[in-house]
Structure 1
């Protein structure tokens, strides 16, 4: 293993993305060393590349990108009992560093000191070999592919959002945005029993994918559309205001639409990351007793996601539209930046480029 190459995708600064060799890490007692297989490119990876920061998270030293990942165990730490070399695993990228009040309450994603792949200053896993906490590596059933394992990360955002929203049998749901996160919210909402899902986007191609994945009403949005007019369109198509709106764009007008559209007593969940300050019709939400709930990543979702995939209740395979070997990472990032396709997947194992 000492002689193995560890080609890694490293962001040095805004706009400076490089492929370079790094040492193969040695796992600690509670860690495993993984030979990475499939790693998806997330919008946040591209945002760090283009802007050098997301909010208060600023790239100040070279950082390996990537956090939507799966791989094969090649070495286990001395304390690891539930995994062994050869196991295929999905990686949960957020690992709490301490057993603080958030950890004890089951909300470890909210811990201020959490380790998170590819969030400064923590390195991600877009590389050939990567070590990770064994407790946050989940064994994949034989009928779940490596790519599905990598897609558990975005799928988990959908699971956490739908849980926060209270999606249940018979719910009517508006999803704003048909990008990767909007589409996984659609898949999860349907799996959780939503009766009607209406989804909006500027892109007719993405809405066509949403229709294929089970959306009942795809709605093409024009940039000039007013928030209240779009809310009225949603109500007209559903025959009533939706119980739940899940906002996945972060765009101010879209957040406004979500609030205007939601029925009295309903729930708006904010998934998309937009401007720090956003103007919204708060009075409209207040007099309708609409709950506005935030979402930050996810917690306790990997077991449910694996069960959903293994049972066939959720099919994420159509989301992968482009595949590149790790050596072509810069081209893959450019493809994602241009908004081509839905999910771009990088294949990190030279000897296994299969899904």
Structure 2
């Protein structure tokens, strides 16, 4: 067991820090040893760069694949030696203590992982879970037409979730690598928004029952309004981090539409994600661009600071 964690001591810097040995679990607690952890690109960069007023030292991250080392005497739903996904906001660290009876459901997001699953890729279940939470929050279903604007890790996850839930999915970005991955993951229509024909292609595919803002482009809401891309009774999913945003009330009023948001994910979302991964409907491996020993984490965060578009799915290996 590695008794270390990752923190941001100051603006734009990351380092490893020492943890004490894990304590004995309480009656309703489990203690886990980390095998893999996944980087939450947007959340962690916001923290690293103090976009929303971080205080340092800061710790971020909520995607851990772990093996259960010890269980409390009243724990009966898990056993020692089982592999689980943890979605708690505990930051990247070599061990976790989780109270399965915590009043806040976000503090007990613990999902059993079957042995036949590729556990390494489950380290990105948090981001993929956000995709399912948001798609379910805006009530994506067959045979809706969904446009996902932006193909970072969150956008890719929403696109896969929406397709799994039965929608026809159009995706846009300007990054050729991200567009290629989306095509590999079976998005129905892939559009380079930088092409001269992009607006025409988007318009032909619309109007859209659901539009997901996964890019945070300042003019996106104006673009939707100008080109009449939102359908009657449609919804815009405001998922990307944003500063104050202006939109046309007429767009919502005339269409009886809405702008909706969501946060994190539930244990039910994770169970649905696991189901679709087992079926092969949702695939995480193509999203992984970096897999490194946790000792190399500071270099990953330097890339996140200086060239964030270089990173998509990032997994830290705690076993090497």
TM (normalized to structure 1)? 0.80
Which one of the candidate residues 189, 211, 220 is aligned to 1:217?
189
2:103 maps to what in 1? none
Partner residue, 1:192: 165
Counterpart in 2 of 1:113? none
> What TM-score do the two structures reach when normalised by structure 2?
0.88
Structure 1 residues without counterparts, runs of 5 or longer: 94-116, 118-122, 351-355
Change (3 A) 1:79 1:136: farther
Aligned match for 1:342, one of 312, 315, 318: 312
Write the distance in 2 (CA, Å) between the matches of 1:230 and 1:261: 13
Partner of residue 257, structure 1: 223
Equivalent position of 1:278 in the other structure: 245
The Cα shift of 1:255 comes to 3.5
- How many angstroms apart in 2 are the aligned matches of 1:34 and 1:84? 11
Q: Does 1:12 align with 2:9?
A: yes
The 5-angstrom pairing of residues 110-125 of structure 1 reads 117=89, 123-124=90-91
SS in structure 2 of the partner of residue 295 of structure 1: coil
Deviation per CA, 1:233-291, whole angstroms, max 9, x where unpaired?
A: 4122x1x411111111222212333454111221111111110x112222222111112
How far apart, CA to CA, are the structure 1 residues paired with 2:93 and 2:82?
Answer: 18
C-alpha separation between the residues in 2 aligned to 1:10 and 1:24?
Answer: 18
Q: CA deviation at 1:46?
A: 2.1
**Quick one: distance in 2 between partners of 1:231 and 1:263?**
16
**Contact persistence 2:13–2:298 (CA under 8 A):** no
Q: Secondary structure at the match of 1:266?
A: strand
Q: 1:106 maps to which residue?
A: none
The answer to whether structure 1 residue 59 and structure 2 residue 44 are counterparts is: no
Contact 1:5 1:24 in 2 (8 A): no
Q: Deviations over 1:130-159 (max 9, x none)?
A: 222334211101122222322211111111
Give yes or no for contact 1:71–1:146 (8 Å, CA) kept in 2: no
Q: Report how many residues are paired.
A: 306
Query: Does the 8 Å CA contact 1:9/1:127 hold for their aligned counterparts?
Result: yes
Partner of 2:203: 235
Q: 2:2 touches 2:318 (CA, 8 Å); kept in 1?
A: no
Q: Which residue of 1 aligns with 2:139?
A: 166
What is the correspondence of 1:87-98 to structure 2 with a 5 Å cutoff?
Answer: 87-93=82-88
1:71-220 equivalences under 5 Å are 71-93=66-88, 117=89, 123-124=90-91, 126-134=92-100, 135-194=108-167, 196-220=168-192
Residue 38 (structure 1) aligned to one of 28, 36, 39: 36
**Residues 153-181 of structure 1: CA deviation (Å, up to 9, x unaligned):** 11111111111222112211100101101
Q: Secondary structure at the match of 2:281?
A: coil
Q: Would the aligned equivalents of 1:7 and 1:21 in 2 still touch at CA under 8 Å?
A: yes
C-alpha RMSD of the superposition: 2.2
Contact 2:235/2:260, CA 8 A, preserved across alignment: yes
- Return the offset for 1:22: 1.2
Contact 1:322 / 1:345 at 8 angstroms: preserved in 2? yes
The match for 2:287 is: 319
Partners of 1:256 and 1:36 in 2: CA distance? 44
> By how many angstroms is 1:324 displaced?
0.8
Tell me, yes or no, if structure 1 residue 25 matches structure 2 residue 22.
Answer: yes
Residue by residue over 1:12-68, the C-alpha shift from the partner in whole angstroms, topping out at 9 and shown as x without a partner, is: 2322321121112323332211111111111211221122x536xx325x3433212
Q: Sort the Cα spacing of 1:272 and 1:9 in 2 relative to 1 into closer, same or farther, 3 A.
A: same
